[in-house]
């Protein structure tokens, strides 16, 4: 570690610092060049295009020191989104912290699907269960301003992040602290969306690649489906007639999640695939 840090000298250029970052992250990141450019653009207050166009530009000492610090944290496995404090989701800048999951591109499928069932005029009420940073709820509200969007989460810290995002984006959504549906009384919705915990408790990824993200939002129990079962069991009481439930799941869980939907009385159960062609979510209708 000491040798790699010696590469960063006083008066180094953007190009030299990117190379330092790439070398430092080569063994710990799947995308060392991208990570290095994002972190340098952040600390040097410039666009990534500037780094590529003007690699000879000298970086200020304060920016260099901050870059070194972030590179070291990234070497320790912290997600780039946490280091930057935000992640783009559905073209919206979503602020994140260690209290919430980093929004994933594949979760945009939930938004795409939700919008296809929410008319521009009178889109109705939408519930985002386990809202976390509020990314899904806010993306839906942004695209369907007339929708009444509610986000619930058991974590007060996560809800604080979601509230910050709603305020920063100027989007009016309702946020409630609730364990799944417990705080909703008799309220019903046209559409319920959820990206619940679905990683198996024994999956090594929880102690490796995902170790910096909140376990509460990841660990789905022994088979990964504890939260999914709870959602399918309680959602019918909170869906309007003709309402739909949309739940994200792991890429190997499609068949089991479809079975759960059928067991709990849902109809027209279908699996949706993500851009990689993997099973990613189940959409089901409330039984008439």
Dump pLDDT digits (tens) for 162-212: 999 999 999 999 999 999 999 999 999 999 999 999 999 999 999 999 999
Separation CA 125–CA 190 (nearest Å): 6
In this structure, the answer to whether residues 171 and 272 fall within a common structural domain is: yes
Per-residue model confidence (pLDDT) at position 287: 82
Q: What is the pTM of this model?
A: 0.93
In this structure, the answer to whether residues 160 and 51 fall within a common structural domain is: no
Point out the residues of the chain with pLDDT beneath 50.
Answer: 1-8
Beta strands at 279-285 and 239-248: parallel, antiparallel or unpaired: antiparallel
Per-residue model confidence (pLDDT) at position 5: 43
Which residue, among 84, 125, 116, has the nearest Cα to 240 in the 3D structure?
Answer: 125
> What are the distances in angstroms from CA 64 to CA 28, 58, 139?
21, 10, 35
In this structure, the answer to whether residues 58 and 186 fall within a common structural domain is: no
131 within a domain of the structure (yes/no): yes
> What are the distances in angstroms from CA 90 to CA 63, 87, 143?
30, 10, 10
What tokens does 240 get?
Answer: 């309007």
93 within a domain of the structure (yes/no): no
The CATH number that applies at residue 172 is 3.40.50.150
Range of the domain at 29: 2-77
What tokens does 107 get?
Answer: 């979760």
Q: How many CB atoms are closer than 10 A to CB 211?
A: 13
Q: How many domains does the chain have?
A: 2
In this structure, the answer to whether residues 163 and 274 fall within a common structural domain is: yes
CA atoms within 13 A on the CB side of 119: 3
In this structure, the answer to whether residues 34 and 110 fall within a common structural domain is: no
Residue length, the chain? 288
In this structure, the answer to whether residues 41 and 145 fall within a common structural domain is: no
Per-residue model confidence (pLDDT) at position 11: 76
142 sits in which H/E element: helix 135-143
CB-based contacts of 135, cutoff 8 Å, min separation 6: 89, 90, 92, 94, 103, 107, 165
In this structure, the answer to whether residues 166 and 252 fall within a common structural domain is: yes
């Amino acid at each position: 570690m000491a040798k790699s840090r010696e590469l960063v000298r006083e008066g180094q250029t953007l190009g030299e610092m990117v190379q330092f970052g790439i070398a430092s992250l080569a063994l710990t990141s799947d995308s060392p060049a991208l990570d290095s450019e994002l972190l340098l653009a952040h600390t040097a207050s410039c666009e990534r295009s500037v780094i590529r166009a003007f690699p000879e530009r000298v970086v200020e000492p304060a920016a260099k020191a901050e870059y070194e610090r972030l590179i070291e944290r990234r070497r320790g496995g912290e997600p780039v989104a946490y280091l930057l404090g935000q992640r783009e989701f559905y073209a919206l800048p979503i602020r994140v912290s260690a209290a919430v999951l980093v929004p994933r591109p594949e979760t945009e499928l939930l938004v795409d699907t939700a919008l296809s069932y929410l008319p521009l005029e009178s889109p109705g009420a939408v519930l985002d269960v386990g809202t976390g940073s509020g990314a899904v709820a806010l993306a839906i509200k942004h695209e369907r301003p007339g929708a009444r969007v509610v986000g619930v989460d058991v974590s007060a810290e996560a809800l604080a992040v979601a509230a910050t995002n709603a305020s920063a984006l100027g989007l009016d959504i309702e946020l409630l602290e609730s364990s799944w549906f417990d705080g909703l009384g008799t309220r019903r919705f046209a559409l319920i969306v959820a990206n619940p915990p679905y990683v198996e408790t024994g999956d090594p990824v929880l102690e490796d690649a995902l170790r910096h993200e909140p376990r509460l939002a990841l660990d789905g129990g022994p088979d990964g489906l504890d939260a999914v079962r709870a959602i399918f069991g309680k959602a019918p009481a909170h869906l309007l007639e003709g309402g739909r439930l949309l739940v994200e799941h792991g890429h190997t869980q499609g068949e089991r999640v479809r079975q759960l939907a059928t067991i709990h009385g849902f109809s027209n159960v279908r699996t949706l695939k993500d851009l990689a062609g993997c099973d990613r979510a189940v959409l089901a209708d409330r039984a008439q």
